């Protein structure tokens, strides 16, 4: 009996100690809140995803699989931003046109090889023009530009480097948009301390930290990007990821007011909108002509969270990736007119060559959304 008493005492002590030393990675509370829940597996209107990465070239089997997954969620058109350049891009476009010509858009990419050459800008612009002749409908600039790209002297190439001016001017002349990714979330550039709201992500993915001894300041990157926008008013820029200003929509609004040539999109930042539903709703209504739908990482199971944030008035529901957002989501319940612009009308206006008369636009909108009242428990 005495042995059992000691055993159970030790067990209680060990359990208590474990609870006291549990890490934040292990902590996964289950909500007890019971609220109405709308499950949205298909968008209310057909949509264009302006921010996807599928590589190049995309073969027939891959294209067929993507179209099946797109149809299931009501995606009408996917923009593949990783189109490459030259022969690879040409082959990718040919595969698409032969298989699903109305369902995909391909953006070209730049090579920064020889950036020190005096004729680099003209040469890059000429290659882009050839890519557009071969079917590219826009240009994608990746985040290495401005952040890690260096010239032959080891100096960082800034976002507003004048050597790229011939490229931006060519985009304006050809009427194609530039979807540009500059920098990363502000928190990545801050100290990894108890005040950093992305601490968990930086702990789990230490390579995402941007310390000042190895990277430029976030503020410098954003300032360079905004100067670029202002210097090329005839070029249409799509500022990726809400320009990493989703946490400060008022500042993003000032940029859009100042630069009529700038659009933006919501790829990988729905967690920012979902935590500020009242202000984000007001902001999206005000700037309804300037924002497009995007997702970034291809994972069909994650799209319903986007639909739910944009379309419903649900409260306190899970985001799909704990380390991106430890907070809960709220629905914005956007008006239909705003949804239509965000889902497809703005992209149709900004990206040339999308077939607006294809049968994908005649798909019926979702007529009914499942409604249930249950608790919100069930994290990833």
Task: List the alpha helices (DSSP H) in 35-189.
Answer: 60-73, 86-99, 120-133, 144-147, 165-174
**Share above pLDDT 90 across residues of the chain, in percent, rounded to a whole number:** 81
Distance from C-alpha of 138 to C-alpha of 107, rounded to nearest angstrom: 5
Beta strands in the chain, from DSSP E residues, in sequence order: 34-39, 47-52, 75-80, 104-106, 108-109, 139-141, 178-180, 237-239, 262-265, 291-292, 370-375
Whether the Cβ atoms of residue 140 and residue 203 lie closer than 8 Å to each other: no
Distance from C-alpha of 124 to C-alpha of 140, rounded to nearest angstrom: 13
Q: Which residues contact 131 (CB under 8 A, 6 or more apart)?
A: 83, 85, 86, 89, 90, 108
Q: What is the CA radius of gyration of the chain?
A: 23
Lookup result for tokens 């499950």: 39
Residues 309-344: pLDDT tens digits? 999 999 999 999 888 888 999 999 999 999 999 999
Residues 162-206: pLDDT tens digits? 999 999 999 999 999 999 999 999 999 999 999 999 999 999 999
Distance from C-alpha of 139 to C-alpha of 131, rounded to nearest angstrom: 10
Answer whether residue 5 shows pLDDT above 60. Answer: no
In angstroms, what CA-CA distances link 132 with 52, 63, 178, 190? Answer: 19, 21, 13, 39
Residues 24-81: pLDDT tens digits? 778 888 889 999 999 999 999 999 999 999 987 788 999 999 999 999 999 999 999 9
> Does the pTM exceed 0.85?
yes
- What spatial distance separates the first Cα and last Cα of the chain, rounded to whole Å? 43
- pLDDT of 2 reads 54
Residues 293-302: pLDDT tens digits? 999 999 999 9
Torsion of CA 293, 296, 300, 305, to 10 degrees: -60
3-state secondary structure of 165: helix
- pLDDT of 369 reads 43
Whether the Cβ atoms of residue 292 and residue 262 lie closer than 8 Å to each other: no
Distance from C-alpha of 95 to C-alpha of 58, rounded to nearest angstrom: 7
- pLDDT of 356 reads 87
Distance from C-alpha of 235 to C-alpha of 36, rounded to nearest angstrom: 45
Residues 248-290: pLDDT tens digits? 999 999 999 999 999 999 999 999 999 999 999 999 999 999 9
Longest dimension (CA), the chain: 89
- pLDDT of 81 reads 97
65-71 own/partner pairs: CB under 8 Å, 24+ apart: 66/104, 67/100, 67/103, 69/300, 70/103
- pLDDT of 29 reads 85
3-state secondary structure of 349: helix
- pLDDT of 360 reads 86
**Share above pLDDT 70 across residues of the chain, in percent, rounded to a whole number:** 90
Q: Which residue has the higher pLDDT, 249 or 359?
A: 249
Answer whether residue 366 shows pLDDT above 80. Answer: no
- pLDDT of 326 reads 85
Distance from C-alpha of 41 to C-alpha of 39, rounded to nearest angstrom: 6
Torsion of CA 256, 262, 263, 265, to 10 degrees: -90
Lookup result for tokens 């935590």: 275
The predicted model gives 9-33 an average pLDDT of 69
Structure tokens that stand for 249 in this block: 């929509």
- pLDDT of 154 reads 94
Mean pLDDT, the chain, rounded, equals 91
Band (pLDDT 50/70/90 cuts) for residue 10 is low
Q: Which residues contact 5 (CB under 8 A, 6 or more apart)?
A: none
């Amino acid at each position: 009996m005495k042995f059992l008493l000691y055993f159970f005492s030790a067990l209680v002590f060990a359990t208590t100690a474990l609870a006291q030393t549990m890490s934040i990675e292990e902590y996964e509370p289950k909500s007890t809140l019971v609220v109405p829940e709308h499950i949205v597996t298909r968008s209310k209107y057909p949509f264009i995803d302006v921010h996807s990465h599928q590589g190049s070239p995309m073969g027939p089997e891959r294209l067929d699989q993507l179209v099946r997954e797109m149809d299931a969620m009501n995606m009408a058109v996917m923009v593949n931003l990783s189109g490459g350049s030259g022969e690879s891009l040409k082959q990718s476009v040919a595969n698409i046109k032969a298989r699903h010509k109305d369902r995909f858009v391909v953006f070209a990419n730049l090579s920064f090889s020889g950036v020190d050459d005096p004729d680099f800008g003209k040469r890059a612009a000429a290659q882009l023009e050839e890519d557009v002749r071969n079917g590219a409908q826009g240009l994608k600039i990746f985040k290495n530009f401005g952040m890690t790209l260096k010239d032959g002297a080891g100096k960082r190439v800034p976002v507003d480097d004048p050597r790229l001016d011939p490229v931006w001017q060519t985009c304006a002349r050809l009427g194609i948009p530039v979807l540009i990714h500059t920098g990363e979330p502000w928190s990545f550039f801050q100290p990894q301390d108890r005040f950093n709201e992305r601490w968990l992500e930086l702990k789990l993915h230490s390579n995402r930290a941007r310390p000042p001894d190895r990277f430029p300041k976030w503020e410098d990157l954003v300032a360079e990007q905004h100067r670029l926008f202002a210097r090329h008013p005839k070029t249409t820029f799509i500022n990726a990821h809400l320009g990493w200003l989703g946490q400060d929509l008022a500042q993003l609004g000032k940029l859009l007011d100042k630069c009529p040539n700038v659009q933006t999109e919501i790829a990988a930042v729905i967690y920012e909108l979902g935590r500020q539903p009242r202000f984000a709703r007001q902001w999206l209504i005000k700037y309804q002509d300037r924002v497009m739908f995007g997702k970034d990482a291809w994972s069909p199971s994650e799209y319903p969270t986007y639909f739910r944030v944009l379309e419903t008035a649900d409260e306190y529901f899970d985001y799909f990736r704990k380390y991106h957002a430890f907070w809960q989501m709220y629905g914005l319940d956007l008006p239909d007119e705003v949804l239509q612009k965000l889902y497809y009308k703005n992209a149709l206006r900004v990206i040339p060559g999308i077939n607006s008369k294809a049968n994908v636009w005649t798909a019926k909108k979702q007529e009914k959304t499942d409604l249930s009242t249950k608790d919100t428990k069930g994290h990833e």
